[in-house]
Structure 1
Amino acid sequence: MKKLLFIFSFIPCLLFGQTKEELIASVKANSKDPQTLQTLQRIGVYDPNHKELETLFKGLDKKVRKSNSGKLFERYLSALKNTQVGKKAPSITQLDLAGEPYALSDLKGKYVLVDFWASWCPPCRKENPNLVKTYATFKDKNFEILGVSFDKEFAAWDKAIKDDNLTWKHVSDLQGWNNSAGQTYGVKAIPQNILIDPNGIIVAKNLHGDALNAKLQEILK
């Protein structure tokens, strides 16, 4: 999937100019360099394979793996492992626009698309009109969207929701990239999404536009 994304460092991933194969080669060639952890995190940043990353991580020098950055990366790997398709979706509880706690579990019994986005993210804003159309098509067929924002400023978050006509439920802890739900789900690039079934099981990840509509057509019969 070739599209402009925003990742943790706020740099579009396409600007790095390295292929996945080149990144993997760099990791293997610099196993004793602590900076290699940053390279490792760039491998499949949008849709990472936790088994592949875990294997590469285990190949790093012990001092790198046991460093503070290494421990943080292990936590990231754990988040990826726990949010794979087929896993029970971890809980999310954050404040909605009215300042009231709202939980993912409040939507139990429905198919839910958890959409990770932010008002300051151009690719997210570009994707929003597609989501509006999808929501209009499927909202009466046991489908909901829960927007989880990586914003820090309430006003910007609120304005983007109104400007883009995003009429579904929205939550945030206004902690930017440190959003607790984002960390739980191992989100290092946005936009990203997770599709959850009525029993709370993850059934798909990172579906957009026609691909998302096709999946919903398939399951919402």
Structure 2
Amino acid sequence: MGKATLIDFWASWCGPCRQENPNVVALYNEFHNKGLNIISVSLDEDAADWKEAIAEDKLTWTHVSNLKEMKDPIALQYGVTQIPTTFLLDVSGKVVAVDLRGEALNAKVKKLLNIK
């Protein structure tokens, strides 16, 4: 079974990001064992704030940060200009959706993972 990957750009100081985190946790809990990976890229500058937010929001997947806020090289590579921003990648690594939320994201993940 292949894996789909959600790349989630966020930051501890971003209110809308923190409000979206419970939805991302629910998505991960529902689909991780069926083939979904999540990688969160933090655009924080303070490592302590970033790690505290991960613990508080119970974000149990892979996290990376260069602690360079919007100048993060990964964010620059993906053309991220605001957060939260998400990219959904198929098993080959191709971006198949950007900034889906809620039921639209769930439906797209189900389709990618061939879940009825």
Offset, 1:159: 0.3
Matched, 1:136 2:20: no
Partner in structure 1 of residue 59 of structure 2:
166
Residue 210 (structure 1) shift: 1.4
**In 2: Cα distance, 1:214 partner to 1:220 partner:** 10
1:119 is matched with which residue? 12
* Displacement of 1:198: 1.3
**How far 1:136 sits from its partner (Å)?**
0.3
Larger Rg: 1
Deviation at 1:172, TM superposition (A): 0.5
CA distance in 1, matches of 2:104, 2:23: 11
CA separation in 1, counterparts of 2:68 and 2:62? Answer: 18
Output the CA distance in 2 between the equivalents of 1:155 and 1:133. Answer: 25
More strand by share: 2
**C-alpha distance in 1 between matches for 2:20 and 2:110:** 19
Q: Does 1:214 align with 2:101?
A: no
Is contact 2:4–2:36 with CA below 8 Å preserved after alignment?
yes
SS of alignment partner, residue 188 of structure 1: coil
Aligned residue for 1:190, secondary structure, equals coil
Kindly report the root-mean-square deviation, in angstroms, between the aligned alpha carbons of the 2 structures.
0.8
Q: Secondary structure of 1:216's partner?
A: helix
- Poorly superposed stretches of 4+, deviation over 6 Å: none
Amino acid at match of 1:193: T
TM-score (norm 2): 0.94
Number of aligned residues: 113
- Letter aligned with residue 10 of structure 2: W
Match of 1:180 among 48, 73, 87: 73
Structure 1 residues 24-63: aligned runs within 5 Å: none
Quick check: 2:5–2:88 contact (8 Å CA) kept in 1?
Answer: yes
Give unpaired runs (5+ residues) of structure 1: 1-108
Q: List per-residue Cα deviations over 1:128-168 (Å, max 9, x = no partner).
A: 00001010000001111000000000000000000000001
Between 1 and 2, higher relative CO (CA 8 Å, sep ≥ 6) is seen in 2
Aligned-pair CA distance for 1:186? 0.8
CA separation in 2, counterparts of 1:209 and 1:167?
Answer: 19
Structure 2, unmatched stretches of 5+, are none
Q: How does 1:186-197 map to 2 (within 5 A)?
A: 186-197=79-90
Aligned to 1:200, what secondary structure does the other structure show? coil
